Structure 1
Amino acid sequence: MTILDRSYIQEQIKGEKDNLIRDIASLVEIPSIRHVENKYENAPFGKDIRDAFDMFIKIATREGLLCEDFEGFALHAEYGKGDEIIGILGHLDIVPIFEDDQWNTDPFKLVEIDGHLYGRGVNDDKAPLIAALYALKILKEANVEFKRRVRLIIGGAEETTWECMEHYFSNNPQPIYSFSPDGDFPIVNGEKGIINYTYTYSAITDVDSMHNLIKIETKDEDGFVCDYAKVTFKSSNIDKLKELLKEAESIVIDGEKVIVIYTGLRALSRNPHRGINALFKLGKDLNHLIELNAKGQYLRRLLNQYFLDDVKGEKVNLYDEDEVMGFTTLCLKNVNFRNEEIVIHFDFRYPKSSNKNHIKHTFEKIAEDNHIQLTITKELDVHYVSPESELIKNLQMAYKNVTGEDAELFSKGGASYARTLKEGVVFGPTFSGDTPNTHKANENIKLQTLFKAIEIYCEAIYLLACK
């Protein structure tokens, strides 16, 4: 138990509600999407992320925290004393607005509806960072004695290239223990390895047929199951082609051209089993087309041999399942077939029981066998913290002290700053039953979730830094 009564912390949170929401709103109003085309000194990720950094520094300084900026790559806000550091890691950059027509509110204006706060970045990761700051503020104002320093460590490129943390830890020591409020409660102590690949093929000598696949266009975005594909055929027997396109959402005839739309169910690329891939529907229809041009046949073979109806890597013989971290996932994110070039983007994630070198060798061999250019666009190793860690034990205690429930450990396919740490895990703020719509339209955080997270973070900071 802490020296702070639960009712005391709850009263402090209640009293700070308006200030808390105002601070979150000030960050959500900044469209902190990476734009390197307008980068400048101390703003390597562009003006908007720089503005978000400045706003956070303003808030933290107001609360008596000592702030230091590391050339706009990262910053920290610190309170406490002692040689050892407890880290709380989060980020202020956000993903773009992929589905602007599906938002019910302005994504860059914080709106409260039915006990939820809506806005891009409100759950990932602006409100959780402010929650951690307010937890530190409550303990500070209660005159709790700190035996370790607590650092809120903030990055600006979590959604992209992660050089923010590389830069930060090249200038600062690792905290002794850390958590990231950038995911789920209770405790995410494992994160799967991630490798994002691009296959590019441009050496096809085409041979026309009755039905000719001439273009595929999918959404130019990252991190999702492909849920939309616009496909253009040229056919000498349009009526026959229409009969064979059984999976199409819509078909429009434009002279000799047949424009076909395929739709699926959107899901994050780390969870392809939760979505429906529009490209799988295209692949099934291509299998109906016996008389197909050479380019279409080539793509059909690739889809059938390595991707079609597979979300676990079984077709490439890489399926693996770890009893602690779960199974491998393979997500076909998009295919673009234009300008005489086929480009395939896919995402592979794996548990700690898998061998990264074997995975990479497998996809390299596929590229070699099919005369494809292979590019790795993202690579993150498996991260896992033992259940016996003192960090885990203290966070479990903090969670149970507040909720009365045991803090179960689990793994995810996502990526958080916990990966940059020797002793770091994801710790909230989302509870089971919440629907935060992270990276999607109508991103939100439930106010009661936010308040409960602050209680838990007060407890966790106390146990790690004060007790």
Structure 2
Amino acid sequence: MRDLASLVAIPSIRNVESKSEKAPFGKDIRDAFDQFIEIATREGLHCEDFDGFALHAEYGNGEEIIGILGHLDIVPIFEDDEWHTDPFKLVEQDGHLYGRGVNDDKAPLIAALYALKILKEANVEFKRRVRLIVGGAEETTWECMDHYFAHNPQPLYSFSPDGDFPIVNGEKGIIYYKYTYNGKTDIDGIHNLLEIETKDEDGFVCDYAKVTFQSSNMDELRVLLKEFESIVIDGDKAIVIYTGLRALSRNPHRGVNALFKLGKDLNNLLELNTKGHYFRSLLNDHFLDDITGEKANLFDVDEVMGSTTLCLKNVDFSHDEIVIKFDFRYPKSSNKSQIKHTFKKIADENNLQLTITKELDVHYVDPESELIKSLQAAYKNVTGEEAELFSKGGASYARALKEGVVFGPTFDGDTPNTHKGNENIKLHTLFKAMEIYCEAIYILACK
């Protein structure tokens, strides 16, 4: 608990303003690295630091390497008012530990380190080396792993304690993209859409939109708008707030998109200005009330990895342009080239500029591999239950590996609030994960 508390206390959010030599992601992530090295060195693990991009802590013998990949960087505190504890203080309440990064990914890293410590102190013979590989930019650019594997070989087998149990052997492909429409806002309708502002965040379903209308018939506008949270009218201007339910953009089905509510209200405004009409038509034709990409001709489903997801994340509708940002995820049956062609086709047909801002390929590990069989055995030996395989839309360090999967720490029924207020991990989950990791390391590296 002391070791975990020391890591949670460090606000290891990327900050390029404080970067320096050996601290490419800023001082706080550097401090978290130093604290982890202090803990691992105290436990007799051999540590190497790779220019502040990544580090590893190693124990064991042999030429072959088993990798356990985690990260010490965290996401910012997006919503202060959602926390009932100090995000940077480890707090135990009702069988849970609270703090930013406690589930993603500091407690799982400590669990893996202590699992290795247990085997070390039991004097178990190691036939393979075990490396705890720790990155500093998992939540941002991933250049940590690029740098690390430019200086180190790929492990024979690896897992990342940065997701769910039993075993995530598939991760969908990811494309973040945006459309930009260049055109000035006109006032040529009875009701005129002037501005849309949403939160400038990545990775979430849009749960807030502030919309400005100008109208020559405010009484009619007030009647036709039905989906809003609040409205303030000042003369011929109306400020309208739409709210939804916050969820990770990889799981749009778990949220409620505020922009979908706006879209429904825009459909009630027949006398809309030209730019507002354009935006409404774009939503209706390709995106409104669709979280699978079916309207945009992007839908696909794979019997193993599930279906595509499409999340409308942000809209910035200003005087000079419209910028719309998306998160699209796809299974291994999809064709990435065809997906990009469809993006471009929509752009060309609607006078839009397409920009792809991030992309990660599909990752999938054969269910018959030695890695999978070993982790299934470890999980069953500890829990007594079969370790089922499944796929997710998330992005973990497993993607940086030739043979790697996500393995815990979250169990079905846990609510860790990853990237949200009140991030937590159950004490029972943490200790059970440590036990499973101990068994997994024993099977992979010692037996």
Does residue 27 of structure 2 align to residue 85 of structure 1?
no
Give the aligned partner of residue 59 of structure 1.
39
5 Å matches for 1:210-225?
A: 210-225=190-205
* 2:212 paired residue among 232, 235, 244: 232
* 1:430 paired residue among 403, 410, 419: 410
5 Å matches for 1:305-316?
A: 305-316=285-296
- Distance in 1 (CA, whole Å) between partners of 2:289 and 2:116 is 48
CA 1:339–1:43 in structure 2 vs 1: closer, same or farther (change >3 Å)?
A: farther
Q: Which moved more, 1:395-404 or 1:284-293?
A: 284-293
Deviations 1:304-342 (A, max 9, x none): 111100000000111111110000000001111124221
In structure 2, give the amino acid aligned to 1:438: T
Secondary structure at 1:127's aligned position in 2? helix
- Distance in 1 (CA, whole Å) between partners of 2:99 and 2:341 is 42
- Distance in 1 (CA, whole Å) between partners of 2:219 and 2:246 is 31
- Distance in 1 (CA, whole Å) between partners of 2:10 and 2:217 is 53
* 1:144 paired residue among 121, 124, 147: 124
* 2:143 paired residue among 163, 175, 187: 163
* 1:354 paired residue among 334, 337, 350: 334
How many corresponding residue pairs? Answer: 447
Secondary structure at 1:109's aligned position in 2? coil
In structure 1, give the amino acid aligned to 2:49: D
Structure 1 length-normalised TM: 0.95
Secondary structure at 2:141's aligned position in 1? coil
In structure 2, give the amino acid aligned to 1:49: I
Superposed CA RMSD in Å reads 0.9
Deviations 1:180-207 (A, max 9, x none): 0000000000000000001111234634
Give the aligned partner of residue 177 of structure 1.
157
Q: CA deviation at 1:382?
A: 0.3
In structure 1, give the amino acid aligned to 2:79: E
Secondary structure at 2:432's aligned position in 1? helix
Give the aligned partner of residue 446 of structure 1.
426
* 1:113 paired residue among 93, 98, 116: 93
Question: Is contact 2:185-2:318 (8 Å) kept?
Answer: no
- Distance in 2 (CA, whole Å) between partners of 1:205 and 1:119 is 44
* 1:274 paired residue among 243, 246, 254: 254
Give the aligned partner of residue 295 of structure 1.
275
Give the aligned partner of residue 443 of structure 2.
463
* 2:297 paired residue among 312, 317, 336: 317
Q: CA deviation at 1:293?
A: 1.1
Secondary structure at 1:352's aligned position in 2? coil
- Distance in 1 (CA, whole Å) between partners of 2:95 and 2:253 is 30
Deviations 1:418-453 (A, max 9, x none): 001111000000000110000111000000000000
Deviations 1:253-293 (A, max 9, x none): 12221010111111111110111100000001011111111
Where does structure 1 differ by over 2 angstroms across 4 or more consecutive aligned residues?
Answer: 203-208
- Distance in 2 (CA, whole Å) between partners of 1:339 and 1:394 is 58
In structure 2, give the amino acid aligned to 1:409: L
Deviations 1:382-431 (A, max 9, x none): 00001100000000000000000000000000000000111100000000
- Distance in 1 (CA, whole Å) between partners of 2:231 and 2:258 is 15
Secondary structure at 1:317's aligned position in 2? coil
Give the aligned partner of residue 405 of structure 1.
385
Give the aligned partner of residue 243 of structure 2.
263
* 1:190 paired residue among 170, 178, 183: 170
Deviations 1:338-378 (A, max 9, x none): 24221111000000000011001110111122221211111
Q: Which moved more, 1:277-286 or 1:208-217?
A: 208-217
Secondary structure at 1:51's aligned position in 2? helix
5 Å matches for 1:11-22?
A: 21-22=1-2
- Distance in 2 (CA, whole Å) between partners of 1:95 and 1:387 is 32
Give the aligned partner of residue 9 of structure 2.
29
Structure 2 spans left out of the alignment, 5+ residues: none
Question: Is contact 2:88-2:99 (8 Å) kept?
Answer: yes
Does residue 34 of structure 2 align to residue 43 of structure 1?
no
Deviations 1:225-276 (A, max 9, x none): 1011111111111111011111111111122210101111111111101111
Give the aligned partner of residue 8 of structure 1.
none
Does residue 74 of structure 2 align to residue 94 of structure 1?
yes
CA 1:339–1:39 in structure 2 vs 1: closer, same or farther (change >3 Å)?
A: farther
Question: Is contact 2:245-2:256 (8 Å) kept?
Answer: yes
| Percent of aligned positions that are identical | 83
Structure 2 length-normalised TM: 0.99
Secondary structure at 2:399's aligned position in 1? helix
